[in-house]
Structure 1
């Protein structure tokens, strides 16, 4: 167990270092923060002066080495635009994204898993075809289009929910529905196919011979094995949401990490972008690690290996 934890810690460190190096190189090749901060001006002297003030006139390797030194000390730098430490900027925007991510994951689980179970319990039935049709329709619907439709119906036509903002829990209902339903097709199909395969296994026939049927058979013998691939997909889905859903946050005017990333790209705020990409990589490693632990709990064979 300790070897497993050590391997994961070393993997997280390697991912963080590789991600930081690639991100630093790409950002410095594609964005000129000095020109972005100055705005519409034809005076190269002004741009050069801002570049010197930010220390961007030095070689990229020197700036990256200094950034790693500050990172080792827990200092992720200061935002070029907001003139605040990037950790403070992250702390201001992260709660919105955290709420949205976990609520959207809850929507995905509550919708996709029951649909997949119901479809697998009666394959090729009318309910199975209806579930697959719904999954295909959701898969073909872009998030921004579905968000606008939900806004027009629930907010404008019915007046039940607010259109934008993140001040109350009611503001999170529509965005969570949009993000959650976007992941429903993959999770539903995986639940359905995994459960159909498990229900054809020998140990299920043995359980039926012992008298297990219906929900008791699914709960005690089938679901734990069928949900193993679903856990991995849900982990990736949660990681994507925690990284910030840019389109959804922009459509609903939510001040989360996705909108912060978009604003940082538009303004050339390299320290903030580096922080977001680095933390997103660490979040993915952490979430997949938790998924591995959950899979080991669900399947004893993984623990033995």
Structure 2
């Protein structure tokens, strides 16, 4: 297992380098630059040239990337050009809000999704199965930003149960968590149902019936355990996507977090902040993929044998 984990971690190195190059180039090919937000209207060209040299934006792109990557490896994310603060401080201030939102949304989608999937599988081809699957299918088609606006209209503006925006108190997390978690619930419920039905058709289930075990014990103690292998993989992959989805949700609910920081930095063309924010989101996806593979390998030895 240790050898498998080391090999999977080493496979992330070229992926990380490729992602860093893409993030760096995309930003520098966009029109505009952060100097436009610092200069006053009618500033002389000499002042612009001086500021470009101060922030290293006058150097060739390969040189800029090499300097940025070298600092990144040492843990230096640079200094925000517009905010004039260390980028690491801005990330450290915003990341806990995104992690709290993403963690609660992941827990919600896991508990509710697995529960609905089990109920649907135990009532296969019955009315309950059709209602549950129809509901989760409908929920998976709703865009998160539109669902967030509907929840605000219903529970904040209409009923006044929860605040419209901000991050004050636990009640400000309810609507954003529901907005992100409902989409993941639909995916987890479908995967759980399909996996349980597939596991229930295996030979060991017939043997358990022959031993006289009750259907509830067979499904909940044995079938569900085998069915959770693909579910765990999906949940690990959802870690990165939930943080990415939190970008739009944080903007809709005006919450402080990585998404709000990213959108603000994009509007200002603040390269160091945007690069660090996008890199954090990309690393969340990569680490989620790594965690999913490790958990799947721990639960299924065949996965470890495929790579060793």
Corresponding residue number in structure 2 for 1:11: 11
Corresponding residue number in structure 2 for 1:101: 102
Listed one character per residue, the Cα deviations across residues 143-169 of structure 1 (whole Å, up to 9, x for unaligned) are 122111211221222222111111211
**Alignment map for 1:41-190 (pairs within 5 Å):** 41=41, 45=45, 46-190=47-191
Moved more, 265-274 or 286-295: 286-295
Q: Measured at CA, do residues 40 and 200 of structure 1 come closer, stay the same or move farther in structure 2, by a change above 3 Å?
A: farther
- Consecutive unaligned residues in structure 1, runs of 5 or more: none
Corresponding residue number in structure 2 for 1:33: 33
Asked if the contact 2:9–2:290 (Cα under 8 Å) also holds between the matched residues in 1, the reply is no
SS at match of 1:33: coil
CA distance in 1, matches of 2:300, 2:115: 21
Give TM-score scaled by structure 2 length. 0.92
Corresponding residue number in structure 1 for 2:288: 287
Q: Measured at CA, do residues 71 and 35 of structure 1 come closer, stay the same or move farther in structure 2, by a change above 3 Å?
A: closer
Q: Quote the offset at 1:191 in angstroms.
A: 0.9
Corresponding residue number in structure 2 for 1:201: 202
CA distance in 1, matches of 2:235, 2:18: 25
Q: Quote the offset at 1:203 in angstroms.
A: 0.9
Moved more, 107-116 or 5-14: 5-14
CA distance in 1, matches of 2:220, 2:55: 60
CA distance in 1, matches of 2:252, 2:144: 10
Moved more, 153-162 or 251-260: 153-162
Q: Measured at CA, do residues 40 and 144 of structure 1 come closer, stay the same or move farther in structure 2, by a change above 3 Å?
A: farther
Q: Measured at CA, do residues 285 and 274 of structure 1 come closer, stay the same or move farther in structure 2, by a change above 3 Å?
A: same
CA distance in 1, matches of 2:99, 2:49: 39
Q: Measured at CA, do residues 213 and 246 of structure 1 come closer, stay the same or move farther in structure 2, by a change above 3 Å?
A: same
Q: Measured at CA, do residues 269 and 210 of structure 1 come closer, stay the same or move farther in structure 2, by a change above 3 Å?
A: same
Corresponding residue number in structure 1 for 2:269: 268
CA distance in 2, matches of 1:161, 1:214: 42
Q: How many residues align?
A: 305
Q: Quote the offset at 1:42 in angstroms.
A: 6.2
Give TM-score scaled by structure 1 length. 0.93
- Consecutive unaligned residues in structure 2, runs of 5 or more: none
CA distance in 2, matches of 1:109, 1:221: 19
Q: Measured at CA, do residues 147 and 212 of structure 1 come closer, stay the same or move farther in structure 2, by a change above 3 Å?
A: same
CA distance in 1, matches of 2:242, 2:253: 15
Moved more, 236-245 or 269-278: 236-245
Asked if the contact 2:34–2:268 (Cα under 8 Å) also holds between the matched residues in 1, the reply is no
CA distance in 2, matches of 1:260, 1:201: 49
**Alignment map for 1:210-289 (pairs within 5 Å):** 210-243=211-244, 245-289=246-290
- Report the RMSD for the aligned CA atoms in angstroms: 2.0
CA distance in 2, matches of 1:36, 1:242: 30
Listed one character per residue, the Cα deviations across residues 239-268 of structure 1 (whole Å, up to 9, x for unaligned) are 122346221101111011111111111111
Listed one character per residue, the Cα deviations across residues 4-35 of structure 1 (whole Å, up to 9, x for unaligned) are 22212222322221111111111111143245
SS at match of 1:65: helix
